[in-house]
Structure 1
Amino acid sequence: MKRGAAVATMVAATVAFTACSTTGSDDEASSSDGEMVTVTTNSGEVEVPKNPAKVVVLDNTSAETVKAFGVTPVAIPKQLFSSDQLTTWVDDDDVKDVGTHSEPKFDVIEDVEPTVIIGGYRFSKYDDDLKKIADASGGAFIDVAANDDSEGGRVAQMTRQTEALGKIFGKEDQADQIVAEFQAKLDAAKQAATGQTVFLANVSGGKIDNGAKRISPLTAPLNVKDVFAGDEGDIHQNSGLTPEAIAQANPEWVIVMDRDAAVATDGEQATPAKAVFDAQEAFANTTFKKENHTVYLDPQFYVREGIQGYGESYAQIAQAMGSGN
């Protein structure tokens, strides 16, 4: 989608930031006296206004943490932020809709004159464009999205991400608490995972397919063995994997991501992942079916993926594998 005509003018001359805002931290209506903090991002260290007044949140992996800090952004991608955890943002008419990562509305982002843009992850290909918009409004652009390629993998990066956001919003203690709660759930899952074989499943288009590309970062810290290791598939396309092939692999456990539920639009009724699995006659004699060893992740896992969603998933795995049911 083409950017608004205002970009050229804004990039050419920095617009002075105005502190007035109807959104922002619940306990701080505007940025704090020009105070800056330095945070580590995916592109190095960046100076960011502390307690920024106008925050645009594009990264879904950061969103729930920002919300937990009591911050209401001025703009978000509402279709992407469709999970139950972010309903109050989506339903708030004062929070502008920037479109999707496929067709972002740059003019909306420009118009709100952001103090901070939290980008990256699904919006990472627009990092340079978003940085220009932030610079033009006298603000800052950051990409603190957790990724699998950085040191320590997804888990370590989610911790770094949470701590960086806590520093920006003056919520360091709350960030530490979020990390501690997450770590406890991860530790419990690690204790329960003792080498079990698993199939990492994705239900998309009413079909069961290989979901390792999206789920393997979740299971990477755990002692489990993917029966289709080395083949991550493509969660957006049909790989041709059949129920018979899954049955032949005979995993002890299945961990399921319901992509259909996460991407269903208003008026669409997706068949629940459990119903799709229950309909498969090929699974009748598999270990996971006979032992009831299937973990269905939060239906919104596909669009959450932050430290909260991962923590809840580890708690599910710990409870299921720890009890054997």
Structure 2
Amino acid sequence: MRRLLLSSLTVAALVAPAAAEITVGTAQGEVTLPDAPRTVAVYDMAALDSLLALGVQPAGTIENVTVPALRAQVQDAARVGTLFEPDLEALAGLAPDLIVVGGRSSTQLAAVSQVAPAIDMTFGPDLLSDARARIDGYGAIFGKAGEAAELNASLDAQLAALREAAEGQGRALIVLTNGTRMSAYGKGSRFGWIFEAAGLEEAAPGLDHATHGQAITHEFIAEVNPDWLFVVDRGAAIGEDGQGAEATLRSALVEGTAAWTRGQVVYLDPGAAYISAGGYSAMSLLMGQLTDAFSAADPS
């Protein structure tokens, strides 16, 4: 009887279907994963944003989620370290089927891969394209392809509305404030997707593409005299005390620019712009802000 039972189990094992797998594109190339992981740990805030939008609830994430809308949705998730220092013991205790890193946490890919399969979902220079590709990838991994298609269709519609509202709106400058310091960003930079999305002309072509932007002064802003100023407050994004963006910008020189005098200084949502940009909700929020600002502009 025992021999018959073992034979039956052997036959069942031979004819049982192999575990499903899915191949997805990542920042490190294509990776093959087991289909539909049940327990996921997320170290990238753009990934967290898009996964939550798809209805995927992470079992673990970083200790300090500074984006309020995301923090409210992961209150019950286990804390498994920081962007730069994963807690491998806590991660192992969580026993995830998949770990997602990206951006600031991408350097920890090798470390977390000791615990479970991990993917690097960092964005490349084309944020708009990569954001949609990542959503499609998550949809494939978690069996939510239909939901991913809906999110991307929504982004495409919002992008079309933004481009229509921004047509003929002039020249723009993107400024990041960090306490009393300021940096400017142009096409090809971490915030360059805004120029591409809106189809705007740069007020200061040829800016340094460095991660931290090109350091600027009030005199610089006055000299380039943008029609639009898009402002990201880094201190507010990371929850740091200190001088806010408006106080940093305010001076007689900046107040004399076309952007300031026309009321065309837009303070972008700091968390969405600096922390979770590329995530579905962040991109939707930012494109909505931009579209509303252009739509409300005085055409004269």
Residue 263 (1) aligns with residue 241 (2): no
Query: What displacement does 1:298 show?
Result: 0.7
Residue 145 (1) aligns with residue 117 (2): no
Find the counterpart in structure 2 of residue 293 from structure 1: 264
Cα distance in 1 between the residues matched to 2:227 and 2:25: 41
Would the aligned equivalents of 2:183 and 2:212 in 1 still touch at CA under 8 Å? no
Cα distance in 2 between the residues matched to 1:191 and 1:316: 14
Spell out, residue by residue over 1:242-275, the C-alpha distance to the aligned partner (whole angstroms, 9 max, x if none).
112211110111111111101125xx3x444234
Spell out, residue by residue over 1:124-145, the C-alpha distance to the aligned partner (whole angstroms, 9 max, x if none).
22222333321xxxxx222233
Residue 38 (1) aligns with residue 23 (2): yes
Find the counterpart in structure 2 of residue 76 from structure 1: 61
Identity %: 26
Query: What displacement does 1:106 show?
Result: 2.5
Would the aligned equivalents of 1:186 and 1:315 in 2 still touch at CA under 8 Å? no
Secondary structure in structure 2 of the residue aligned to 1:215: coil
Query: What displacement does 1:215 show?
Result: 1.5
Find the counterpart in structure 1 of residue 227 from structure 2: 252
Residue 50 (1) aligns with residue 35 (2): yes
Would the aligned equivalents of 1:214 and 1:235 in 2 still touch at CA under 8 Å? yes
Residue 282 (1) aligns with residue 279 (2): no
Would the aligned equivalents of 1:37 and 1:50 in 2 still touch at CA under 8 Å? yes
How many pairs are equivalent?
276
Query: What displacement does 1:39 show?
Result: 1.9
Query: What displacement does 1:161 show?
Result: 0.4
Q: Which structure has the bigger radius of gyration?
A: 2
Aligned runs of 1:58-69 on 2, under 5 Å? 58-69=43-54
Query: What displacement does 1:34 show?
Result: 4.4
Secondary structure in structure 2 of the residue aligned to 1:214: coil
How has the CA–CA distance of structure 1 residues 255 and 242 changed in structure 2, closer, same or farther, with 3 Å as cutoff? Answer: same
Query: What displacement does 1:57 show?
Result: 0.7
Secondary structure in structure 2 of the residue aligned to 1:52: coil
Find the counterpart in structure 2 of residue 322 from structure 1: 295
TM-score (norm 1): 0.77
Query: What displacement does 1:235 show?
Result: 6.2
Secondary structure in structure 1 of the residue aligned to 2:223: helix
Query: What displacement does 1:64 show?
Result: 1.2
Would the aligned equivalents of 1:144 and 1:164 in 2 still touch at CA under 8 Å? no
Would the aligned equivalents of 1:182 and 1:308 in 2 still touch at CA under 8 Å? no
Spell out, residue by residue over 1:108-162, the C-alpha distance to the aligned partner (whole angstroms, 9 max, x if none).
222322101111221222222333321xxxxx222233321xxxx2111111100
How has the CA–CA distance of structure 1 residues 168 and 233 changed in structure 2, closer, same or farther, with 3 Å as cutoff? Answer: closer
Aligned pair partner of 1:206 in 149, 160, 180: 180
Cα distance in 2 between the residues matched to 1:315 and 1:307: 12
Query: What displacement does 1:299 show?
Result: 2.3
Aligned runs of 1:63-212 on 2, under 5 Å? 63-79=48-64, 81-92=65-76, 95-134=77-116, 140-148=117-125, 153-194=126-167, 196-212=170-186
Secondary structure in structure 2 of the residue aligned to 1:165: helix
Cα distance in 1 between the residues matched to 2:247 and 2:167: 28
Would the aligned equivalents of 2:101 and 2:118 in 1 still touch at CA under 8 Å? yes
TM-score (norm 2): 0.83
Relative to structure 2, which stretch is displaced further, 188-197 or 111-120?
A: 188-197
AA matched with 1:162: I
Cα distance in 2 between the residues matched to 1:68 and 1:309: 10
Would the aligned equivalents of 1:37 and 1:47 in 2 still touch at CA under 8 Å? yes
How has the CA–CA distance of structure 1 residues 206 and 169 changed in structure 2, closer, same or farther, with 3 Å as cutoff? Answer: same
Cα distance in 2 between the residues matched to 1:100 and 1:228: 36
AA matched with 1:145: T
Residue 228 (1) aligns with residue 212 (2): no
Relative to structure 2, which stretch is displaced further, 189-198 or 248-257?
A: 189-198
Would the aligned equivalents of 1:69 and 1:169 in 2 still touch at CA under 8 Å? no
